[in-house]
């Protein structure tokens, strides 16, 4: 049993680094575009702006946890993130209990953005990763490249994520980085309503479609909802009609903003994300 889990983790590669970095991204189907309404930390490094400090915590299924601490200073950013499975039972081939073990990872992201014109910006992320499971260890280095075109009421983004390699074998072979290509488009429908469309191709999944809306109420309350075809695999019955959706909200009062997102994973359970941002 223990060897089987190790094999699955190794063959899956560094999949956990594709998780949304904060509650807003989770509620908008992983949108990598910055908001029209306020500065925020986004996956596309070309969208870095403002000065802010962010704390994020996500509780996933079966005790899996993900958290990060991030900062942006103009066109530069840094983030330290962790991922842990919690304790899992170690079983022999005969079903005998052999104690417990856990899987955990820590990774550092350094970001830089360069604006070439008022409309066009490029950015890059450098990721340094470490992971361990029982007595097994691995490390890796990855890169992201992105660009964003910003118009008065529209934004378009291209993001190439997780160009990288492992520095050593985790279990039986070197881990694979989950190479991802994402296209995003955002449009300010009204002065208080933003729409986002996204297409994303993961290494191990077909092209996924994402759509999200973000509403602004007096710059105090922000409501979000999204649809993602990626979560179709989490459906286990015809009644799991909410499995493709995510919802969220923000409450803002300078210099603080509190974000929350809720992602139902059908009969498998629910995911909750919380972010606290200090900004100026």
Q: Do residues 67 and 82 make contact, with C-beta atoms less than 8 angstroms apart?
A: yes
Instruction: Report how far Cα 26 is from the mean position of its chain's Cα atoms.
Output: 7
Q: So what's the pLDDT on residue 16?
A: 76
Q: So what's the pLDDT on residue 40?
A: 84
- 274 contacts: CB under 8 Å, gap ≥ 6: 23, 56, 57, 58, 258, 259, 260
Q: Which residues pair with 261 in a beta bridge?
A: 248, 273
Q: So what's the pLDDT on residue 146?
A: 97
The CA dihedral of 130, 42, 67, 54, to the nearest 10 degrees, is 120
Measured CA to CA in angstroms, residue 204 lies from 17, 156, 207, 252, 263 at distances of 14, 25, 10, 37, 21
**187 backbone dihedrals φ, ψ, rounded to 5°:** -140, 135
Helix (H, G, I), strand (E, B) or coil at 254: coil
- 81 contacts: CB under 8 Å, gap ≥ 6: 21, 66, 67, 68, 69, 106, 107, 108, 109
Q: Give pLDDT tens digits along the chain (280 positions).
A: 333 333 334 444 577 788 888 999 999 998 999 999 988 888 999 999 889 999 999 987 767 889 999 999 989 999 999 988 777 666 666 666 666 667 788 999 999 999 999 999 999 999 999 887 776 778 889 999 999 999 999 999 999 999 988 887 666 666 778 889 999 999 999 889 999 999 999 877 789 999 999 999 999 999 999 999 876 655 544 556 777 899 999 999 989 999 999 988 755 568 899 999 999 8
- What CATH architecture does domain 2-279 belong to? Beta Barrel (2.40)
DSSP β-ladder status, 88-91 and 221-228:
unpaired
Q: So what's the pLDDT on residue 13?
A: 57
Domain limits, the chain: 2-279
Q: What is the pTM of this model?
A: 0.85
Q: So what's the pLDDT on residue 221?
A: 97
């Amino acid at each position: 049993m223990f060897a089987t889990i190790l094999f699955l983790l190794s063959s899956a590669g560094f999949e956990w680094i594709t998780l949304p970095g904060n509650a807003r991204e989770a509620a908008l189907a992983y949108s990598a575009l910055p908001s029209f309404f306020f500065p925020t930390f986004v996956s596309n490094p070309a969208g870095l702006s403002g000065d802010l400090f962010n704390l994020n915590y996500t509780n996933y299924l079966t005790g899996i946890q993900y958290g990060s601490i991030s900062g942006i200073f103009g066109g530069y950013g840094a983030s330290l993130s962790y991922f842990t499975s919690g304790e899992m039972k170690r079983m022999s081939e005969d079903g005998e209990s052999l104690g417990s073990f856990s899987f955990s990872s820590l990774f550092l992201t350094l970001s830089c953005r360069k604006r070439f014109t008022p409309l066009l910006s490029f950015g890059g992320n450098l990721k340094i990763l470490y992971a361990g499971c029982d007595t097994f260890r691995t490390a890796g280095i990855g890169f992201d490249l992105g660009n964003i075109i910003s118009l008065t009421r529209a934004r378009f983004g291209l993001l190439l994520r997780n160009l990288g390699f492992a520095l050593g074998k985790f279990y039986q072979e070197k881990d694979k980085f989950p190479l991802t290509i994402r296209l995003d488009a955002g449009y300010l429908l009204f002065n208080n309503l933003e729409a986002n469309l996204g297409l994303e191709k993961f290494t191990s999944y077909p092209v996924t479609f994402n759509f999200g809306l973000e509403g602004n109420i007096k710059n105090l309350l922000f409501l979000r909802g999204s649809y993602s075809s990626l979560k179709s695999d989490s459906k286990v019955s015809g009644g799991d009609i909410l499995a493709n959706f995510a919802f969220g909200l923000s409450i803002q009062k300078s210099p603080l903003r509190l974000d929350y997102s809720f992602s139902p994973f059908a009969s498998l359970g629910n995911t909750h994300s919380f972010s606290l941002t200090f900004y100026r």
